[in-house]
Chain A
Amino acid sequence: MAGNKQDFLSSFLEQAERHPQHPAVIHEGYETSYSELESLSRRLAFNIAKVCKHPRVLIHLPQGVNAYASMLGTAMAGGYYAPNNLSAPREKQNHVASLFQPDVVVSTNKLAAEIQQLVPKACFIDVQSPSLDALETPLPPHDLIYVMFTSGSTGTPKGVMIPRTALSHYIAWALDSMDVRSEDRWSQHPNTAFDLSVLDIYGALCGGATLFPLTGLKDKLMPAEAVKRHKLTIWNSVPSVIDLMIKARHVTTEHLQSLRLMTFCGEPLKRHHLEAIFSACSDLIVHNTYGPTEATVSCTLLQLNRANFKDYCLYDCAIGDAIPGMTLELKDIQDNKGELIIAGPQVARGYWKATEKSAKVFRSLQVDNQTMPAFFTGDYAEQIAGELYFRGRLDNQVKIHGNRVELDEINQVIEKFGIPAVKTVLIEDVLHAFLEVSENEVNIDKLCKELSNKLMDYAIPKHYHFIERFPRNANDKIDIEALVEKVKCKSPVI
């Protein structure tokens, strides 16, 4: 249970006390020791704690030691934070700031100029010149530790409120199941506003390992080069990053031999990913995990090795079993398929300032005569031979590179361009837009330009199909299967 787990901040402070000179973060050749990271966190905590009790903190910083110290400093100050995604369009960054209405913004003068105007009442802390005083004793914690604003296709975010006990539960599990050691060198690939980064940051820093933020363009485009250069031992990302490594012909023993563990979450892990990984590194262990942001990063584990992985790849890779303390159930089962419900201490408190929306999906479940907080995921899974396989969404939401994409939102944006009817479909991991209009009525260049202003990059359809009249089924609904069939039989227009 959550109450039995050590607070994650105590784990970090224990590591700092145990080996103060050990590198906590190595970024662009610059080393920050555990002692230095603790000191910076305490100085920021002093600034943050002065503002109010349980301060609400917007961390408006890129991946790196300043962002990590701001997170730890907020926890020391008894507050909770929202990390802003600095690579998102400015409009989305501003939207998060306006929605969150922070008491404190931690950033730099250069980065925060626009944000400060949006939240004029917030106290601004320049992370480059923190207080010389340090907070000696951490203050009593708030119920929440962070609010993660999920991506959304148009950039309209939904804030997921994560309790501090949920994070502690998750990190205690991660340290144990990943057997984190001080000699581990851990990648920090995802943006800090993407919840997968939570595993890297707290897993490494509470486990005494060294964290390597990967922020260079080359590291993002050719991540296996970074594995090789930094001799990383733990890799954590969405599975599609393996596709980049495969394209670059970098899934090789030479590139990946330092790794002992790769862990994936955020989208389905595919058989071809595992085949490539295990052909290059036969001794590697792969953790496939499943979980929405609403369950604190992930709540299942399937441990894979070269000998067993084929047994779990009936479709995409199976998602594994619930981790200790968490429960996974299928609701409304028909033909072994149903909606996944997650219950246990890692379930979020709900969505930020969205009581009605929260009530629909954050409910409770009876588990062993106990009432547990539960999240009704909207994910559809199938149970075969005791294994759960993710099979899609009940609503019109898909995931691309770990980002949630609402297909209806894409349709609405394209329709605003004067197209009478649009249906966007994900086919073999690629977005196809079907437009009920003849080709010569649309300036496709102009449309693409317009979409790049309105949609996140990953939400822009890759292929466009012009159809004079959509096929309809017996209920007069657009026949999606017939549209998919058209793609499989014919080359797309673009």
Chain B
Amino acid sequence: MRNMVMTIQDNLYPNPYELLANALECSPDKLNLDSTLGNPPNWDSIGHLNIMLALEEAYNISIDDDTIRRYTAMDAIVARYEELQKGC
């Protein structure tokens, strides 16, 4: 298991672990940088739809085939969050 939830501080944008935990209706400690579509198990098609809707609202991501594919992994979502924090 790589970096855990608490290493990222809340800032202008919601913490990605909390954002995803809310979308997947699970505890943030069930998520880590290795989490992907299918693991944890409630990250299924409905879970992924919830995540994409949350990312659209919180991180200003438009939903298309590319973003649906790209954000199937926690590390990509954390990377997007870090970009936003830097003002990219």
Binding site for B on A (CB under 8 A): 216-218, 220-222, 243-244, 247-248, 445, 448-449, 451-452, 457-458, 460-463, 494
Contacts and interface: CB of A to CB of B under 8 A. Distances in A.
A217 B71 CA distance: 12
B30 A494 contact: yes
Nearest to B64: A218
Contact of A448 (B41, B45, B49, B64): B41
A448 B1 CA distance: 14
Interface of B: 1, 26, 30, 38-42, 44-46, 48-50, 52-53, 63-65, 68-69
Contacts of B38: 452, 457, 460
B23 to A, nearest CB: 10
Contact of A247 (B41, B50, B65, B69): B50
Contacts of B50: 247
Contact of B63 (A220, A222, A243, A247): A222
Most A-side CB within 10 Å, residue of B26, B41, B45, B64:
B41
A248 B46 CA distance: 9
7 contacts: A218-B68, A221-B45, A244-B45, A448-B41, A451-B41, A458-B44, A460-B41
A457 B68 contact: no
B46 A243 contact: yes
A451 B40 CA distance: 11
Contacts of A243: 46
A448 B52 contact: no
A148 to B, nearest CB: 22
A244 B69 contact: no
Given A457-B38, A494-B26, A218 B63 contact: yes
Nearest to B48: A221
Given A221-B52, A248-B49, A449-B39, 7 more contacts: A220-B45, A221-B49, A221-B63, A248-B53, A457-B44, A462-B41, A462-B44
Nearest to A219: B65
Contact of B40 (A220, A222, A448, A457): A448
A462 B48 CA distance: 14
Contacts of B64: 218
Nearest to B36: A452
Contact of B46 (A216, A217, A244, A448): A244
B41 A461 contact: yes
B51 to A, nearest CB: 10
B37 to A, nearest CB: 8
A217 B40 contact: no
B12 to A, nearest CB: 26
A221 B39 contact: no
Contacts of A460: 38, 41
A448 B26 CA distance: 15
